Amino acid sequence: MTLWQGRLPDTVPAVRLFCDSFELDRRLYAADIRGSIAYARALGRAGVLTRGEVDAIVRALERIAVEFRSGAFVAAPGDEDVHTAVERRLGELVGSELAGKLHTGRSRNDQVATDLRLWLLSEIPAIRDGLLSLGEALVAVAEEHLGLIMPGYTHLRRAQPILFSHWLMSHFWRFSRDLARLEGFTVRAAVMPLGSGALAGNPFGVDREALAAELGFEGAAENSLDAVSDRDFVAEFLFIASLTGVHLSGLAEDLVLFSSPEFGFLELDERFCTGSSLMPHKANPDPLELARGRAGTLIGALCGFLSVLKGLPTGYNRDLQEDKGALFTAVDSLALMLPLFAGIVRTVRVRPERMAAALDEEMLATELADYLVEKGVPFREAHRAVGGLVRRARELGVSLGELPQEAYREAHPAFDDGVHGVRDFARAVARRRSRGGTAPERVRGQIELAKRTLRERRGDG
> Could you say which of 68, 217, 237, 316 contacts ligand ARG (CB under 6 A)?
316
Phi, psi (rounded to 5 degrees) for 434 = -75, 165
> Could you say which of 38, 60, 64, 112 contacts ligand ARG (CB under 6 A)?
112
Select the span of 124-132, 231-239, 315-323, 336-344 touching ligand ARG (CB under 6 A). 315-323
Q: From 372, 363, 415, select the one nearest 390 (Cα to Cα).
A: 363
251 makes contact with ligand ARG (CB under 6 A): no
Q: From 55, 50, 53, 74, select the one nearest 64 (Cα to Cα).
A: 74
Residue 12-51 contact track with ligand ARG, rule CB under 6 A, x = bound? ---------x------------------------------
Cα 258–259–265 angle (5° rounding)?
60
194 makes contact with ligand ARG (CB under 6 A): no
Which is nearer to ligand ARG, 309 or 428 (by Cβ)?
309
> Could you say which of 11, 186, 274, 321 contacts ligand ARG (CB under 6 A)?
321
Give Cα separations from 383 to 3, 350, 394, 411 (angstroms).
77, 34, 17, 11
Kindly determine how many residues on this chain lie close enough to bind ligand ARG according to the rule CB under 6 A. 9
Active-site entry in 96, 122, 260, 276: 276
- State the distance between the two ends of the chain, measured CA to CA, in whole angstroms: 45
Cα of 455 vs its chain's centroid, Å: 20
Cα of 83 vs its chain's centroid, Å: 29
Minimum distance, C-beta of residue 193 to ligand ARG, in the bound complex (Å): 12
Select the span of 63-71, 86-94, 108-116, 291-299 touching ligand ARG (CB under 6 A). 108-116
Minimum distance, C-beta of residue 112 to ligand ARG, in the bound complex (Å): 4
Contacts of 354 (CB under 8 A, 6+ apart): 263, 264, 265
- The answer to whether 276 is a known catalytic residue is yes
Minimum distance, C-beta of residue 20 to ligand ARG, in the bound complex (Å): 8
Which is nearer to ligand ARG, 108 or 166 (by Cβ)?
108
Using CA atoms, how far apart are residues 436 and 280, in angstroms rounded to an integer?
Answer: 45
Minimum distance, C-beta of residue 199 to ligand ARG, in the bound complex (Å): 10
- The answer to whether 383 is a known catalytic residue is no
Select the span of 232-240, 313-321, 340-348, 447-455 touching ligand ARG (CB under 6 A). 313-321
118 makes contact with ligand ARG (CB under 6 A): no
Q: How many CB atoms lie within 10 A of CB 451?
A: 15
Which is nearer to ligand ARG, 14 or 72 (by Cβ)?
14
> Could you say which of 81, 123, 136, 370 contacts ligand ARG (CB under 6 A)?
81
- Name the amino acid, one letter, at 192: M
78-94 exposure pattern, b = at least 16 Cβ within 10 A, e = fewer:
ebbbbbbbbbbbbbebb
> Could you say which of 36, 85, 109, 211 contacts ligand ARG (CB under 6 A)?
109
Which is nearer to ligand ARG, 110 or 123 (by Cβ)?
110
> Taking the C-alpha atoms of 413, 420, 370 and 172 in order, what is their torsion angle to the nearest 10 degrees?
170
Select the span of 90-98, 106-114, 291-299, 426-434 touching ligand ARG (CB under 6 A). 106-114
C-beta separation of 94 from 53 below 8 A: no
229 makes contact with ligand ARG (CB under 6 A): no
> Could you say which of 7, 318, 380, 435 contacts ligand ARG (CB under 6 A)?
318
Which is nearer to ligand ARG, 112 or 419 (by Cβ)?
112
Tell me how long the chain is: 461
Which is nearer to ligand ARG, 68 or 341 (by Cβ)?
68
Minimum distance, C-beta of residue 78 to ligand ARG, in the bound complex (Å): 14
> Could you say which of 89, 106, 108, 171 contacts ligand ARG (CB under 6 A)?
108
Q: From 224, 212, 421, select the one nearest 316 (Cα to Cα).
A: 224
Give Cα separations from 30 to 42, 61, 83, 228 (angstroms).
18, 10, 11, 20
- Name the amino acid, one letter, at 389: L
117 makes contact with ligand ARG (CB under 6 A): no
Beta 157-163 vs 149-154: how paired, if at all?
Answer: antiparallel
Burial class (CB in 10 A: 0-12, 13-18, 19+), 109: buried
Select the span of 6-14, 107-115, 251-259, 424-432 touching ligand ARG (CB under 6 A). 107-115
Which is nearer to ligand ARG, 112 or 137 (by Cβ)?
112
2 makes contact with ligand ARG (CB under 6 A): no
Using CA atoms, how far apart are residues 434 and 405, in angstroms rounded to an integer?
Answer: 32
Which is nearer to ligand ARG, 81 or 254 (by Cβ)?
81
Give Cα separations from 414 to 374, 377, 411 (angstroms).
10, 8, 9
Select the span of 136-144, 206-214, 317-325, 405-413 touching ligand ARG (CB under 6 A). 317-325
Point out which residues bind ligand ARG (CB under 6 A).
21, 81, 108-109, 112, 316, 318, 320-321
Which residues are known to be catalytic? 155, 276
